[in-house]
Amino acid sequence: MSATANRGEWSSRTGFILAAAGSAIGLGNIWRFPYAAGENGGGAFVLIYLLFVVLIGVPVLLAELSIGREAEKNPVGAFKALVPDKFWPYVGGLGVMTGFGILAFYSVIAGWTLSYLFSALSGDFGTAITAAESGAIFTELIGNPFKAILLTASFLLLTILVVRGGVSGGIERATKILMPLLFLILVILAVRAVTLPGAMQGLEYLFKPDFSKLTTGVVMSALGQALFSMSLGMGAMITYGSYFPKSENIHFAGASVAVFDTLIAILAGVIIFPALFTAGVEPDAGPGLVFVVLPTIFNTLPAGSFFAVAFYALLAIAALTSTISLLEVVVSYFVDERGWNRSKAAWLLGGACLVLAVPSALAQGGNDYLTSFLGEGLDFLSVQNIIWGNYSLSLGALLICVFVGWRWGTTKAIASLEVGGFKLPAAGLWVILIRYVCPLAVAVILAFIIYTQQYL
Ligand code: PHE
């Protein structure tokens, strides 16, 4: 067997699109996007986020895929394989660490979705529920330290079990049918939401930019959100690109992932903001936003209990396909570079992640110190979300641009993207974006953050 056959490969392009879309689509779209938009004043944030998806997200996605495809390695090994320098593998190392850091808070939120699934199954969302009641349910759940930790552990366990199974056996099979179903449910909920009494107000909040609300912090969050949502800046797409069949069109696949991912985030916004204004919840309610708001609309739908169950089941699965990719990056490093066996790596690293997840699990009321870690609205979980999800990903993306644009070289990257005979459309534009526009934009934003000290 060749080395490639040993590492596994996606069985088809659709397999890749679904698995990469599975990584991209997750709580980032449905939980994080509305929460970030709500905290950052709505429309102006959303506009900048969209701009960043096109100008930074898509070019960086292609850069990561080109690296992974050429090197056929995990992020650390990939940099090692492409250039002899000592420095670059550390960028891969930063990615592996970031994956671990994100997984440690992401699995907490993912655990909440499990709990909501159980509540939905027991019919809790079939009857009318006000925002206050919904908020009380949420507070009760996440404030219970035992429950929060147990749910996080359960979610990590599910992730470990899939990652242990390897690339196409575990990951691909899990995503194939379920992502399209999630999309369908979201469309149904969106149709419901835009006919609610607060719809106009919600849509205006989401789409009408109020530039007076624009600060360096808002721009930073929009950048972080664009990267986080597309799973960029930490090597997930390097790893996934490394499993991509040589006979298929990788840039088309990448572009499809970007489109699906962004559509789902916008759909989530179209559901949440009308519902939020209808129910009278503040947009900046923080990490609990989606969990408090959504239960108020299920009962206004015919067959509301059914939709609630379907929605939380699919959300949990969407989260799982993302946690799989997070753990996969870490595991593939230990398997490829350190010679661990896959099963041992999945168990040990997943277990270690649980340890780091505990303080985040206790940060929503379970423990007072962690709940107001750095002050009002800056609980331990939110701080992790900002450090790993905004700063670490931005730094990673910046370094990846410099690597592809200036060190490894765009000619080689384009050749890697065009393997299989598929010409990269607008290759000249991509070169300008990856060499100049993206790294400069990210560097300027990071510099401004340091200068204005709007870190959090
Ligand atoms: N993109 C995922 C989401 O939106 C989260 C993620 C970030 C996954 C980074 C992998 C890497 O939920």
Structure tokens at 48: 């900048």
Q: Count other C-beta atoms under 10 Å from residue 50's C-beta.
A: 16
Closest CA to 349 of 101, 149, 57, 112: 101
Q: Count other C-beta atoms under 10 Å from residue 389's C-beta.
A: 27
In this predicted structure, what is the pLDDT of residue 8? 64
Kindly state if the Cβ of 216 falls inside 6 Å of ligand 1: no
Radius of gyration of the chain (CA): 21
What is the H or E stretch that residue 354 is in? helix 342-361
Residue whose CA is at the smallest distance from ligand 1 atom 9: 231
What's the gap in Å between 173 CA and the centre of ligand 1? Answer: 19
Residue whose CA is at the smallest distance from ligand 1 atom 7: 231
In this predicted structure, what is the pLDDT of residue 4? 43
Our CA angle for 323, 64, 390, nearest 5°, is: 55
Which atom of ligand 1 is found nearest the CA of 318?
A: 12
Q: What is the spatial distance between Cα 286 and Cα 194, in angstroms, rounded to a whole number?
A: 23
Q: What is the spatial distance between Cα 162 and Cα 157, in angstroms, rounded to a whole number?
A: 9
In this predicted structure, what is the pLDDT of residue 82? 97
Closest CA to 330 of 351, 307, 311, 303: 351
Question: Can you give the residue ranges of every domain in the chain?
Answer: 3-452
Query: What CATH number belongs to 3-452?
Result: 1.20.1740
Q: What's this model's pTM, rounded to 2 decimal places?
A: 0.94
What are the b/e assignments for 188-214, b being 16+ CB within 10 Å? Answer: ebbebbeebebbeebbebbeebeeeeb
Residue ranges of the chain with pLDDT lower than 50? 1-5
Kindly state if the Cβ of 254 falls inside 6 Å of ligand 1: no
Q: What is the spatial distance between Cα 393 and Cα 224, in angstroms, rounded to a whole number?
A: 7
Q: What is the spatial distance between Cα 125 and Cα 307, in angstroms, rounded to a whole number?
A: 9
What's the gap in Å between 56 CA and the centre of ligand 1? Answer: 16
Q: What is the spatial distance between Cα 440 and Cα 450, in angstroms, rounded to a whole number?
A: 15
